Chain A
Amino acid sequence: MDIFLAVFTYFAYIFIIVMYTVKAVKYIRMPTHLRWELYSATGKGEHFQNASCFEGTDRKDVHRKYTLQRLLFLLKEYFTLSEYYKRHTSYWLFLYLWHIGFILIITFHIFCFFGAVTMLFDITISSASSNVSGIVLYFAIFFTGVISFITGALGSTGLLVKRVVDKDLSLYASPLNYFSYAFTLAVFLSGLYAWFFVDPMLSEYRAFWKGLITLNYIHVKPGAAVHIVLFNLFLIYLPFTRSMHYITRFFAFFLIRWDDEPNLRGSELEKKLQELLDQKITWSAPHIKSGRTWREQ
């Protein structure tokens, strides 16, 4: 059982990393598309969103990049979900709790990993540790874990109920949506149970992670083991859901919404476009004249 739990955990982490990488590469490697940008007003006063290169009389000179500001904007939206707050506050409340649950449960595992690494140096992770990093990691692991279990459980429950009772949402909900809420609820509740009844200081998790790093697998109590199994299943399940929007929204904003890269003569972009334009069209409506290239009439 101890080995199974460890191997299953390795598998879950490798699986999600591989699947997310494959999906991300597939997304990024799609061909260059025609320009389809939007000049958003998501944040008033955020000049970089409305900085159009078409308001001047020489567009090439005023083409600017705002990578840092845009990244910060997306990160801010990522942590506040402010568009949801503005447009559907009751939905936002549960969505926000749910997302905080996700963010913190991932942070919790990252801290567990660092806690385990710290323990390798004979540093005790506890509130009374003689080493400051031991104290910091103790509280970081404790609070991220406990808060994630609580907010995630509240969020999953709230969203499940909201999807059922809100007509606008229920009309478009599939059994898979309800399953996802129920599943994440189980993940967070199992964490809550493990913390409350089995492992109040979350020391089992730290020891489990140390075992994963040192290949010296320890026995975990059933209550905590259930949570570890469910969380691993959750990691394996994630790539099959729309959850990758955590990452793809960055792609969508940078590669589509804000993509105003001009096609300059002799540029790499021009070369790519020329190849695409030289392809033969295979659409078959009468006016297309299948077999010609994109610009041929």
Chain B
Amino acid sequence: MKPEDIGKQSKRMVRISPEDLIPLPYPYDTAYDEPPFKELTKEQTEKYDSSLDGFLAIGIPKPATKEEEDALVEKFLSGLEKLLTKENNWTFLQPLFHSLEYCVKCQICNDSCPAYIASGKKEIYRPTYRPEVLRKIIEKYIKKKGRFSSFMTGSNIELNWTLLSRLAELAYRCTLCRKCAQVCPLGVDNGLISREIRKIFSQELGIAPKELHELGTIQQLKTGSSTGITPKALSNIISFMEDEIEEIAGKRIKIPVDKKGAEILLLHNAGEFIAWPENTEAFAVIFDAAGIDWTLSSEIVGYDAVNYGVWYDDIQLARIATRHAEVAKKLKVKKINVGECGHAHKAMIVIADRVLTGNLNVPRESALPLLEEIVCSGRIRLDPSRNDFPVTLHDPCNMVRLMGIVEPQRNILRKICPQFREMDPHGVENYCCGGGSGFAIMQSMNFPDWRSAVSGRMKLKQILEVFQDVISPDNKKYVCAPCSNCKGQIRELFNYYDVNQKCGIFYGGLVELIANAMTDLKRPFIEWEWH
């Protein structure tokens, strides 16, 4: 199957069956039957084009007429032209230009892609496949090369609605983990090209997964959070958290909200408040014990660190980053500290650095070095024997490969977890959890099956491998994932394969382990209840 085949009519480009997937270690080896993939309903297949691989992450309604199809193609081309100009895409033009121009298609990046490998090397998931499709479109429709030149460069692609719908879906089969970019000796970044394709669809055609756009950035800017939490709801959640902390710690801790002039504005992924309140509670317990001068914000956008724009839309990215900075400025805090959320780290600390100018450029840091300082300086009393169970660390791509925050979390775990063990590979060479670039929150139709069985498979394999010597469900084990989206993905992955029941593996954040080791708490912080 060649890149130009993406525009050719066929019922389905690729059919994935569970037998094609790479094998998993015990207890998912020979005796285990892989769950069958959920098939799309008749209505769904009639309404949407699922001819890429039978899964739908976006689900673009089929155009009713040829005119509608042509209009979409025209609009895509107009977006593609904009993508290649400095006026419209100064934000990523140079990296994009480099990756489009200088890939020699040596394919040495292939084996670094977890989705490509896990799928049994399905051609369409090859890291070089979608960039090559885009290059061919550019050669033929933007540069408008002549017949001979097109023949020589192999730009024989037909741009039509089928191609567009497949390309849009295909841009959401890459988690933007950028492991492929990391191994490229020429500095080509195929992950970036996936993101740029997403941008054309979002910024020009208004097409993006509902969870990222409508329920994501749009909702966040309007109501305050992509979770739908309003400032009033936040207030109730904080009271609930204080009650829970009182039960565990044996004393009531007042969680500071909107404290003007505080040293630190702590920004959590608001998903934590709903799905893992123990994470935000652990932060409060640790900061209180360490005497940190901190606050949360109750301003719209100010209590949700997420910035889904980083995955698909530069304008939404800039708008949310600006709101975060405005909230910090209004509170007159000295710095923003980002909690356990990988993409928020990358978006707010790194990418926003070139969006925020003047007094909006509030210092922004990761919470991990601060936690390392608290733990390693002895500011709080810790007993590592409370964490005497096997622990492994998942490296969120955004924090580790994309920001180089490698050691702080490890120094903490070495200090408080006697049975800490590393996955292979780890650190900047880690594999993505499979939920990166928004996948963890995308629940469209049968996409969650693909996410668990394909994009998350390498991570599951790594987790099972690292715990093989203690794989019995009677041994409680802990995957430390200091990132909300990674945790969401690991939860879905474990549910899909019933990992907790079969292997006794739990997951959680880093601060939960720190709080669990704190001797001042009335009872253990980690409850070992699957939820």
Is A36's CB under 8 angstroms from B152's CB? no
Taking the nearest CB of chain B, how far is it from the CB of A78, in angstroms?
9
CB within 8 A of B206: which of A59, A256, A286, A295?
A286
Known: A39-B403, A42-B182. A279 touches B87 (CB 8 A): yes
Q: Tell me if B257 is interfacial: C-beta within 8 Å of chain A.
A: no
Query: Across the interface, do A295 and B322 meet the contact criterion of CB distance under 8 Å?
Result: yes
Whether A256 and B315, one on each chain, are in contact in the complex, defined by CB atoms closer than 8 angstroms, is: no
Listed residue (A36, A52, A281) with the most chain B CB atoms within 10 angstroms of its CB: A36
Q: Are A168 and B110 in contact (CB under 8 A)?
A: yes
B203 touches A54 (CB 8 A): no
Instruction: Determine the distance from Cα of A77 to Cα of B186 in the docked complex, in whole angstroms.
Output: 10
Stretch at the interface among B7-15, B16-24, B89-97, B244-252: B89-97
- Bitwise interface map of A from 250 to 290 toward B, beta carbon under 8 Å scored 1, else 0: 01110111000011010001100110110101111111100
B47 within 8 A of A: no
Residue of A nearest to B110 (CB): A168
* Complex interface: chain A residues within 8 A of B181 (CB): 38, 257
List of B residues within 8 angstroms of A281 by Cβ: 88, 315
Are B315 and A283 in contact (CB-based, < 8 A)? yes
Return B331 CB to nearest CB of chain A, in Å: 19
Interface membership of A2, Cβ < 8 A: no
Q: Say yes or no for B132: interface residue by CB 8 A criterion.
A: yes
Q: Does B476 contact A (CB under 8 A)?
A: no
- Closest chain B residue to A258, Cβ basis: B187
Query: In the bound complex, do residue A34 and residue B82 qualify as a contact, i.e. CB atoms below 8 Å apart?
Result: no
- Would you call A20 an interface residue if the criterion is a C-beta within 8 Å of the partner chain's C-beta atoms? no
Cβ contacts A5-27/B at 8 Å (1 or 0 each)? 00000000000000000000001
Q: Judging by beta carbons under 8 Å apart, are A176 and B400 in contact?
A: no
Determine the chain B residues whose CB is within 8 A of the CB of A172 once the complex forms.
2-3, 105, 107, 128, 132
Do A297 and B356 touch across chains, with their CB atoms under 8 A apart?
A: no
Which residues of chain B are near A169, meaning CB under 8 Å?
Answer: 105-107
Whether, in the assembled complex, A68 has its beta carbon less than 8 Å from a beta carbon of chain B, the answer is: no
Q: Verify A294–B355 contact, CB threshold 8 A.
A: yes
For chain A, the count of residues having a C-beta within 8 Å of the partner chain is: 75
Q: Is the CB of A252 within 8 A of B351?
A: no
Does A244 belong to the interface (CB within 8 Å)?
A: yes
Inter-chain contact A263/B361, CB cutoff 8 Å = yes
Contact, CB under 8 Å: B90 / A33 = yes
- For B316, the chain A residues whose CB sits under 8 A away are 287
A57 touches B373 (CB 8 A): yes
Q: Are B373 and A288 in contact, with the CB atoms below 8 A? A: no
B108 in contact (CB, < 8 A) = yes
How many whole Å from B407's CB to the nearest CB in chain A? 6
Contacting pair B92 A295 (CB below 8 A): no
Q: Given A248-B98, A251-B98, A41–B349 Cβ distance below 8 Å?
A: no
Quote the shortest CB–CB distance from A176 to chain B (angstroms): 4
Taking a contact as CB atoms closer than 8 A, the residue among B103, B318, B365 that contacts A295 in the complex is B318
A57 in complex: contacting residue of B1, B203, B370, CB < 8 Å: B370
Residue of A nearest to B148 (CB): A175
- Nearest CB in chain A: distance from B67 CB, A: 18
Report if B354 contacts A (CB, 8 A): yes
A114 close to B (CB within 8 Å): no
- Indicate whether A45 reaches chain B with its CB closer than 8 angstroms: no
- Contact at A81–B102, with CB atoms within 8 Å? no
Q: How far is the CB of A266 from chain B (nearest CB, A)?
A: 9
Q: Given A84-B108, A168-B107, A256-B98, A51–B404 Cβ distance below 8 Å?
A: yes
Complex Cα gap A176–B156 (Å): 13
Q: Is the pair A263, B402 in contact by a Cβ cutoff of 8 Å?
A: no
Report the bound CA distance from A277 to B189 in whole Å: 25
Provide the residues of chain A in CB contact with B353, threshold 8 Å: 35, 262-263
B152 and A176: CB pair below 8 A? yes
Answer whether residue B522 sits at the interface, using C-beta atoms and an 8 A cutoff: no
Pairwise interchain contact B203-A285, C-beta atoms closer than 8 A? yes
**Closest CB-CB distance, A167 to chain B, in whole Å?**
10
Give chain A residues whose Cβ lies under 8 Å from the Cβ of B151.
175
Among B3, B91, B153, B316, chain A packs the most CB atoms within 10 A around the CB of B91
Whether A35 contacts B351 by the Cβ 8 Å rule is: yes
Given the complex of chains A and B, what is the CA–CA distance between A37 and B152 in angstroms?
Answer: 34
Contact with A along B72-88 (1 / 0, CB 8 A): 00010011001000111
| Choice from B108, B213, B314, B357 contacting A270 with Cβ under 8 Å | B357
Question: Which secondary structure dominates chain A's binding surface?
Answer: loop
B3 (CB) vs chain A CBs: closest residue: A172
- The size bracket of the interface on B is 35 or more
Chain A window 234-258, contacts with chain B (Cβ cutoff 8 Å), 1 for yes, 0 for no: 0000000010110011011101110
Which residues of A from 210 to 243 have beta carbons under 8 Å from B?
Answer: 242
Contact of A38 among B178, B203, B318, B365 (CB under 8 A): B178
Residue with the highest number of chain B CB atoms closer than 10 Å, among A60, A171, A253, A287:
A287
Chain B residues whose CB sits within 8 angstroms of the CB of A287 once the complex forms: 206, 213, 218, 315-316
Check A57–B351 contact: CB distance below 8 A.
no
| B354-A249 in contact (CB<8A) | no
Is B406 an interface position by the 8 A CB rule?
yes
Contact between chains at A35 and B102 (CB < 8 Å): no
Residues of A within 8 A of B184 (CB): 83
Select one of A34, A265, A284, A294 contacting B204, CB under 8 A.
A284
Verify A265–B358 contact, CB threshold 8 A. yes
| Cross-chain contact of A176 among B153, B182, B359 (Cβ < 8 A) | B153
Chain A positions within 8 Å of B204 at CB level:
283-285
Select one of B152, B202, B369 contacting A56, CB under 8 A: B369
Contacts of B221 in A (CB 8 A): 297
A50 touches B97 (CB 8 A): no
Residues of B101-134 contacting chain A, CB below 8 A: 101-108, 110-111, 123, 128, 132
Question: Whose C-beta in chain A lies nearest to the C-beta of B129?
Answer: A172
Task: Report Cα–Cα, A230/B304, bound state, in Å.
Answer: 63
Kindly state the separation between the CA atoms of A173 and B132 in the bound complex, as whole angstroms: 11
Residue A69 CB within 8 A of the other chain: no
Nearest A-chain residue to B310, judged by Cβ = A34
> Which residues of A46-94 have CB atoms within 8 Å of chain B's CB atoms?
50-57, 59-60, 77, 81, 83-84, 87-88, 91
Q: Are A36 and B95 closer than 8 Å at their CB atoms? A: yes
Cβ contact within 8 Å between A27 and B94? yes
Task: List, in ascending order, chain B residues with CB within 8 A of A55's CB.
Answer: 369, 404-408
B2 A245 Cβ-Cβ under 8 A: no
In the bound complex, what is the Cα–Cα distance between A288 and B221 (angstroms)? 13
Select from chain B the residue with minimum beta-carbon distance to A39: B404
8 residue pairs bridging A and B, Cβ less than 8 Å apart:
A27-B98, A31-B90, A33-B95, A38-B402, A54-B369, A168-B110, A173-B105, A263-B356
**16 more A-B residue pairs beyond the given contacts A252-B188, A265-B358, A287-B213, with a C-beta to C-beta distance below 8 A:** A33-B93, A35-B351, A41-B182, A50-B404, A50-B406, A52-B403, A59-B365, A169-B106, A172-B2, A177-B105, A249-B187, A252-B98, A256-B94, A273-B354, A287-B316, A288-B203
Binding site for B on A (CB under 8 A): 27, 30-42, 50-57, 59-60, 77, 81, 83-84, 87-88, 91, 95, 168-169, 171-177, 179, 242, 244-245, 248-249, 251-253, 255-257, 262-263, 265, 269-270, 273-274, 276-277, 279, 281-288, 294-297
Spell out B's residues near A (CB within 8 Å).
1-3, 75, 78-79, 82, 86-88, 90-95, 97-98, 101-108, 110-111, 123, 128, 132, 151-154, 178, 181-189, 192, 202-206, 213, 218, 221, 314-316, 318-319, 322, 349-351, 353-359, 361, 363, 365-366, 369-370, 373, 400-408, 427-429
The 9 closest A-B pairs by CB, nearest first: A52-B404, A252-B187, A174-B154, A39-B404, A285-B206, A31-B90, A283-B203, A30-B94, A87-B108
